[in-house]
């Protein structure tokens, strides 16, 4: 695998670090996304309610998380995860971190959760609809539909349950508005 120059370039110019908070919020929460979020909330109300009860994470925050991370599953990245992580593991800046992520990604493939050619994500290796790094997948992904795979790429119940599990395990309080 050859290093991917675009991955290194993006690593050096992350939008979260180059935009003001106001600019960033305008980019990730335009009114059209809010409207789409309300529609997605209504369409997925039953499964969101079930998952909310299990993990104590309010449904509206799961929809917001999903909308901000991938525009409700529409934009999940355009890089094959293994080559992107291998590039960053080779780069000196954060190689130790990305070598660890690469090992987790290979384990995900080995365990059969997704095929290598379908394992597409961000330039940094964030994957699926919740944009989990491979280590987050290992720690928090959930097989909510009990089909033997933790499918954060195409299965909404697994996507929502995984995001809820992540937030819950990080101390989310279902009785507060954050």
Structure tokens at 60: 């509206």
Compute the half-sphere exposure of residue 100: CA atoms within 13 Å on the CB side of its CA. Answer: 8
Distance CA 154, CA 70 (A): 12
Residues annotated catalytic, as ranges: 69
Distance CA 175, CA 178 (A): 10
Reduce the DSSP state of residue 50 to 3 states and report it.
helix
């Amino acid at each position: 695998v050859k290093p991917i120059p675009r991955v290194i370039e993006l690593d050096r110019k992350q939008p979260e670090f180059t935009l003001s908070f106001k600019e960033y919020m305008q980019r990730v929460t335009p009114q059209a996304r809010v409207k789409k979020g309300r529609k997605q909330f209504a369409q997925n109300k039953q499964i969101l309610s079930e998952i909310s009860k299990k993990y104590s994470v309010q449904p509206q925050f799961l929809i917001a998380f999903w909308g901000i991370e991938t525009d409700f599953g529409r934009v999940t990245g355009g890089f094959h995860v293994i080559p992107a992580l291998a590039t960053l593991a080779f780069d000196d800046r954060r190689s130790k971190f990305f070598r660890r992520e690469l090992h987790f990604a290979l384990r995900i493939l080995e365990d059969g959760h997704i095929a290598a050619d379908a394992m597409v994500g961000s330039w940094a290796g964030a994957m699926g609809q919740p944009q989990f790094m491979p280590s987050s997948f290992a720690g928090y992904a959930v097989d909510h539909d009990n089909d033997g795979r933790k499918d954060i790429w195409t299965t909404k119940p697994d996507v929502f349950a995984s995001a809820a599990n992540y937030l819950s395990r990080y101390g989310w309080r279902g009785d507060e508005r954050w």
